[in-house]
C-alpha cells in the first residue's frame, strides 16, 4: 500500500488527539469523540501491522514464484535437450468414454485418429492414463516427426506406440501392478509403419482426489511419466555378438560349440519320441595338398564352397556345422539310414562336380569322404554317435576316399 496513505491518516489522527488534549472538543460529544479517536488509533495500528505482514507474505510469494520459474526453466531445458525421449500422459475419463462410445468400432482400423486411439486405450487400461499430452523433441524425432505437436497428433496415446499388443499389455500390466517399470524392452512402431526396438521406463504419478471430486471420479486414471531409449543399435550389436559366438567365421555355418548344444537337444527329442536320427561326418580329401599347392586363400575358398554344397543338400530343419579344419558334420532329425545315405551321396557328388579356381588362374577340384551313423538306441549319447560316424568316415578314407561309408555297429 502507498506509504503516503498511512501518512495522511497518521496526521489526521494526530490532529484529533491534539484537539482533545487542547480542550478544543467540548460539550456532551467530547467523550464520544475521544472514544472514536481511541478506536481509530487501535484500528490504525492493527491495519499497519496487517499491511506489513501482507508485504512480507507478498515478498515471500514473489521469491517462491521466482524460484519456481527458475526451476521450471531448468526442467524445461533438461526436458527439451535430453537425448532420451520423454512423455507425459493425462486422461479425462468423461471425454475418453464419450469418444469411445462413438468410435469403438473404428479403433482397430488403419488411420484412426489419435484421440480415438487414446479413448480406446483408456478403456482397455483402467487406472492408468494413456493419452499423450506432452513429449520432448527427442521422442518426436525418434518417431520420425518434426516436432512434439506433430508427434502427439499422429500417435495420441502410449498404447499406439507399441507394435505388439502383447508387449503393450505387458507394459501396462507392470504399471498397474507396481506403479512403475524400468528397462522394459519392446518393439515400437512409427506412424509410417517402420519399427525399432526401445527400452521404456515409466512411473505412475499418484494424484489423490478429495471431497466432491473424489465422489464424482472414484476411478480417475493416474498420469504417467515415461522415458524411451532407442536400443536398436545396441540390440543389433548384441545379436551380432550372439551370431559370432555361434557361427564359424569362415563358412557361416554353426560352430562346434553351438552344434553340440543343438545336437544334444535333438538327440534327447529323438530318444524321447523313439524317432530316427542320422549324423553325417564329412572330411575333405588331401586338403593339405590344396593349401600347399594353391595357397591358404584357395583353401579357404574351397571350404566356403563345401559349406554352400552342404547347405544346399540338406533340409531346412537339419543342422550343419564346421567341427574344425576341413571336417564338417550334418545332423538329420527324422532321417533313417537310407535317407541319410541319399543326402551324403548328394553332398559327395555336389562337391566333386565343382570346379574351384585361385588367383593364379589355375583350377582344381575337391573330393570328400563321408561317414554315416544312425541313432536307433534310446541310450546312445552324442559323443558315441559322433565317434561312430567318424569311424565310418575313416573307413571311407581307407577304402580309397571320395565315397560314403555307413557305420553298422549301432543297434
Other Cβ atoms closer than 10 A to 80: 12
- Are 261 and 222 part of one and the same domain? no
Question: Which residues, 6 or more positions from 317, have their beta carbon under 8 angstroms from its beta carbon?
Answer: 333
275 lies in some domain: yes
From 81, 106, 139, the end of a domain falls on 81
- Are 323 and 253 part of one and the same domain? yes
- Are 402 and 255 part of one and the same domain? yes
- Return d(Cα 136, Cα 229) in angstroms, integer: 13
- Return d(Cα 325, Cα 251) in angstroms, integer: 11
Per the prediction, the chain carries an average pLDDT of 84
Per-residue pLDDT tens for 313-324? 999 999 999 999
pLDDT grade for 104, boundaries at 50, 70 and 90: very low
Whole-angstrom CA distances from 39 to 24, 217, 392 are 19, 51, 122
Task: Determine the pLDDT at residue 217.
Answer: 52
Q: What DSSP designation does 160 have?
A: G
**Do 335 and 327 contact (CB within 8 A), yes or no?**
no
- CATH value at residue 342: 3.30.70.270
- 24: three-class secondary structure by DSSP: coil
Question: Which residues, 6 or more positions from 183, have their beta carbon under 8 angstroms from its beta carbon?
Answer: 199, 200, 201
- Are 189 and 258 part of one and the same domain? no
- 29: three-class secondary structure by DSSP: coil
- Are 132 and 230 part of one and the same domain? yes
Question: Which residues, 6 or more positions from 112, have their beta carbon under 8 angstroms from its beta carbon?
Answer: 103, 106, 120
Whole-angstrom CA distances from 34 to 7, 40, 43 are 21, 10, 14
Per-residue pLDDT tens for 148-193? 999 999 999 999 999 999 999 999 999 999 999 999 999 999 999 9
From 23, 52, 81, the end of a domain falls on 81
pLDDT grade for 35, boundaries at 50, 70 and 90: confident
In sequence order, what E strands does 18-145 have? Answer: 85-89, 132-135
- Are 129 and 31 part of one and the same domain? no
242 lies in some domain: no
411 lies in some domain: no
Domain assignment of residue 50, given as a range: 3-81
Whole-angstrom CA distances from 267 to 129, 336, 378 are 51, 14, 9
58, 159, 55, 59: which is closest to 112 by C-alpha?
159
Query: What would the mean pLDDT of 129-154 be, rounded to a whole number?
Result: 93
- Are 75 and 90 part of one and the same domain? no
- Return d(Cα 53, Cα 59) in angstroms, integer: 10
How many separate domains does the chain show?
A: 3
- Are 386 and 252 part of one and the same domain? yes
Per-residue pLDDT tens for 264-291? 999 999 988 889 999 999 999 999 999 9
Query: What would the mean pLDDT of 228-255 be, rounded to a whole number?
Result: 93
- Are 360 and 276 part of one and the same domain? yes
Whether the per-residue pLDDT at 201 is higher than 80: the answer is: yes
- CATH value at residue 165: 3.30.450.20
- Are 357 and 396 part of one and the same domain? yes
pLDDT grade for 93, boundaries at 50, 70 and 90: low
From 54, 81, 108, the end of a domain falls on 81
197, 199, 202, 198: which is closest to 226 by C-alpha?
202
With a threshold of 0.75, does the pTM exceed it? no
Task: Determine the pLDDT at residue 411.
Answer: 39
Task: Determine the pLDDT at residue 56.
Answer: 86
Q: What b/e sequence results for 250-275 when a residue is b if at least 16 CB atoms lie within 10 Å of its CB, and e otherwise?
A: ebebbbeebbbeebeebbeebbeeee
- Return d(Cα 201, Cα 52) in angstroms, integer: 49
- Are 259 and 371 part of one and the same domain? yes
143 lies in some domain: yes
**Do 281 and 407 contact (CB within 8 A), yes or no?**
no
Whether the per-residue pLDDT at 338 is higher than 90: the answer is: yes
34 lies in some domain: yes
154 lies in some domain: yes
Q: What DSSP designation does 119 have?
A: H
- Are 325 and 274 part of one and the same domain? yes
Query: What would the mean pLDDT of 212-232 be, rounded to a whole number?
Result: 76
Amino acid at each position: 500500500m502507498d506509504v503516503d496513505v498511512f501518512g495522511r491518516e497518521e496526521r489526521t489522527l494526530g490532529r484529533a488527539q491534539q484537539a482533545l488534549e487542547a480542550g478544543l472538543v467540548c460539550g456532551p460529544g467530547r467523550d464520544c469523540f475521544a472514544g472514536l479517536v481511541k478506536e481509530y488509533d487501535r484500528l490504525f495500528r492493527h491495519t499497519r501491522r496487517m499491511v506489513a505482514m501482507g508485504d512480507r507474505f507478498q515478498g515471500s510469494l514473489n521469491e517462491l514464484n521466482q524460484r519456481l520459474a527458475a526451476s521450471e526453466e531448468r526442467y524445461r531445458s533438461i526436458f527439451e535437450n535430453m537425448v532420451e525421449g520423454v512423455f507425459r500422459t493425462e486422461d479425462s475419463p468423461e471425454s475418453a468414454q464419450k469418444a469411445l462410445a462413438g468410435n469403438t468400432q473404428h479403433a482397430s482400423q488403419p488411420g484412426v485418429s489419435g484421440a480415438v486411439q487414446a479413448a480406446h486405450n483408456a478403456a482397455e487400461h483402467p487406472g492408468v492414463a494413456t493419452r499423450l499430452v506432452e513429449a520432448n523433441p527427442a521422442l518426436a524425432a525418434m518417431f520420425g516427426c518434426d516436432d512434439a505437436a506433430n508427434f502427439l497428433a499422429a500417435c495420441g496415446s502410449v498404447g499406439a506406440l507399441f507394435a505388439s499388443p502383447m508387449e503393450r499389455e505387458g507394459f501396462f500390466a507392470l504399471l498397474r501392478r507396481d506403479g512403475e517399470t524400468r528397462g522394459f524392452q519392446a518393439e515400437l512402431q512409427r506412424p509410417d509403419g517402420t519399427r525399432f526396438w526401445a527400452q521404456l521406463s515409466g512411473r505412475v504419478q499418484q494424484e489423490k482426489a478429495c471431497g466432491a471430486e473424489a465422489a464424482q471420479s472414484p476411478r480417475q486414471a493416474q498420469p504417467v511419466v515415461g522415458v524411451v531409449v532407442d536400443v536398436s543399435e545396441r540390440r543389433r550389436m548384441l545379436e551380432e555378438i550372439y551370431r559370432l559366438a555361434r557361427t564359424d567365421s569362415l563358412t557361416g555355418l554353426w560352430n562346434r560349440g553351438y552344434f553340440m548344444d543343438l545336437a544334444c537337444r535333438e538327440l534327447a527329442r529323438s530318444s524321447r519320441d523313439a524317432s530316427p536320427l542320422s549324423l553325417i561326418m564329412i572330411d575333405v580329401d588331401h586338403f593339405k595338398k590344396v593349401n600347399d599347392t594353391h595357397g591358404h586363400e584357395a583353401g579357404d575358398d574351397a571350404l566356403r564352397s563345401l559349406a554352400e554344397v552342404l547347405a544346399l543338400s540338406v533340409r531346412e530343419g537339419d543342422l550343419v556345422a564346421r567341427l574344425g579344419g576341413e571336417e564338417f558334420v550334418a545332423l538329420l532329425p527324422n532321417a533313417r539310414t537310407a535317407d541319410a545315405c541319399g543326402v551324403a551321396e548328394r553332398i559327395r557328388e555336389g562337391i566333386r562336380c565343382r570346379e574351384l579356381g585361385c588367383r593364379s588362374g589355375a583350377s582344381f577340384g575337391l573330393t570328400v569322404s563321408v561317414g554315416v551313423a544312425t541313432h536307433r538306441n534310446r541310450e546312445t549319447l552324442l559323443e558315441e554317435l559322433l565317434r561312430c560316424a567318424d569311424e565310418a568316415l575313416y573307413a571311407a578314407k581307407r577304402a580309397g576316399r571320395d565315397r560314403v561309408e555307413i557305420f553298422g555297429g549301432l543297434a
